[in-house]
Amino acid sequence: MPNNLLRQIPKVDSILESAGWASLVSVCPEPIAKDVLREHLDSLRLSIREGRVVAVPSIDEIVTAVGIRAAVLIEPGLKRVINATGIIIHTNLGRSLLASRAVNAIMRVATGYSNLEYDIEKGERGSRYDHCRSVLRTLTGAEDALVVNNNAGAVFLILNTLAEGKEVIISRGELIEIGGSFRIPDVMKKSGAVLREVGTTNRTYIEDFERAIGDNTGLIMKAHTSNYRIRGFAHEASSEELVALGKRYNIPTYYDTGSGLFYNFEDLGASGEPLIPQELKKGFDVISFSGDKLLGAPQAGIVIGEKGCLGAMKQNPMTRALRPDKFTLAGLEATLLLCLDAGSAAGIPTIRMILEEKGAVGKRARRVASQLRKRCPDAGVSVIDVDSEVGGGSFPDMVIPSVGVALESRTMTIAALEAKLRHLPLPVIARIEKERLILDLRTVLAEDEADLVAAVARAFENDR
Ligand SMILES: *Cc1c(COP(=O)(O)O)cnc(C)c1O
């Protein structure tokens, strides 16, 4: 019986000559289609031998199956999704979206030659590290600035350059883990610096730092507790105290501020995130922060501070291993230029999403809801108040009042609906709350609303 079936499998040549195959290879490179076909026929033979297949598929059926599999292979794995979670700096969904000025700047250096490492003035070799330097100095008042691949890289490079083989004094309450295995004690070990933790989890005084200073102290470090707050019976040494202590003992001071905040959100009642220019003014020798958190720029680690410290970092061979590419530098510089003026900074998508008035989000939510009511008869659609979050370990205390669309289904479980939306060609990422699927409009771009409606309609349609 199996042998009989095996003989009935269409010959490869007849598959390759079929009309279906011709139309498949008009949209998919033939070598890929052939590989998939080979695998498909192998597994078909195996299934027949094991008795799992009792009827041999036709040529058309085989070509259709191969087409579905090949389409998955040639589709880019990294793709656009709609973020309906309400978490603005969503690390899993790519953190910050770029301002159109930044995108244009990236396009220019991507499609043409640039002076990446060329000094146009002198007509000779220049340095890629010069590009964002001047705008960073203007924005922050720093003597010097250096851009590396990300802030984790910046932390490593600073510790390795300023404190290899020496002790770094840091409060026990600031031995942070950011997630994705970034922990200060581990990075410190890899950098060759020796951790000297002082104080207790909730209370650390400047005297604790002072008592720990010795012949082998290389650095006094402060790390922003980005994703948590210690409240209640708590005390920390202030930036001013740490800086004064460093100056008295001639030890450099470093503040890892996490998010690169330049925009003052205090009008929103949001506090607790260090403003970069203010912190630098307090006198830290070195400050580092991320490009793609509150700054709203491409992924980068930005180091600003005293020119002796930064000069030493530029000499470190590890700097080359952490260097940013030209797209990063172009996008970052354009974003920083927008930050020079508070009015244009509000045009950076991350900042704009934080600032968007609840009323405006509500209007968009009602618009989406009314379209969904028309297109999805099996859906229960309501407009509800929700809380958005900044995310990215920034402003962990702040909830931003927002408006969302809550979906219920008469035909599917809510988990099935959530999964269906995730598996669409344009995936929609949403969250489940109290047996409803919540689409928070704050993180859905106005220009993506039509795509969102179409995606949800499709998830309900498939079900009918
Ligand atoms: C986010 C963060 C980092 C890591 O920055 P990446 O840009 O993600 O590498 C380091 N330190 C602090 C305090 C942070 O918040």
| Token pair listed for 436 | 């409803």
How far is the centre of ligand 1, averaged over its atoms, from the C-alpha of 288 (Å)?
Answer: 9
pTM over the 0.95 mark: no
| Token pair listed for 262 | 């330049």
How far is the centre of ligand 1, averaged over its atoms, from the C-alpha of 261 (Å)?
Answer: 13
How far is the centre of ligand 1, averaged over its atoms, from the C-alpha of 310 (Å)?
Answer: 19
Query: Which of 159, 178, 184, 273 to mutate for ligand 1's pocket (most ligand atoms within 8 Å of CB)?
Result: 178
Q: One-letter amino acid identity for 307?
A: K
How far is the centre of ligand 1, averaged over its atoms, from the C-alpha of 299 (Å)?
Answer: 11
- What ranges make up the beta strands (E) of 53-143? 82-83, 87-89, 118-119, 124-125
How far is the CA of 240 from the CAs of 186, 246, 247, in angstroms?
Answer: 27, 10, 11
Nearest ligand 1 atom, CA 256: 13
How far is the centre of ligand 1, averaged over its atoms, from the C-alpha of 293 (Å)?
Answer: 9
Minimum CA distance residue for ligand 1 atom 15: 258
Nearest ligand 1 atom, CA 182: 4
| Token pair listed for 396 | 């962990």
How many helices and strands in the chain, by DSSP H and E? 20, 18
pLDDT at 1: 61
* Euclidean distance between CA atoms 429 and 431, whole angstroms: 7
pLDDT tens digits, residue range 352-374? 999 999 999 999 999 999 999 99
End-to-end Cα separation, the chain, in angstroms = 39
pLDDT under 70 in the chain at which residues?
1, 268-270, 462-464
- What ranges make up the beta strands (E) of 174-272? 177-179, 182-183, 194-198, 217-223, 253-258
Residue 354 DSSP symbol: H
* Euclidean distance between CA atoms 286 and 309, whole angstroms: 7
Residue 423 DSSP symbol: T
Evaluate whether 347 touches 353 at the Cβ level (below 8 Å). no
Using a 6 Å CB cutoff, which residues line ligand 1?
150-152, 155, 176, 178, 182, 223-224, 226, 256, 258, 290, 301, 393
pLDDT at 96: 96
* Euclidean distance between CA atoms 428 and 423, whole angstroms: 8
Full set of structural domains in the chain with CATH: 2-74 (no CATH), 82-90+353-463 (3.90.1150.180), 98-347 (3.40.640.10)
**Containing H/E element for 385?**
strand 379-391
Radius of gyration of the chain (CA): 28
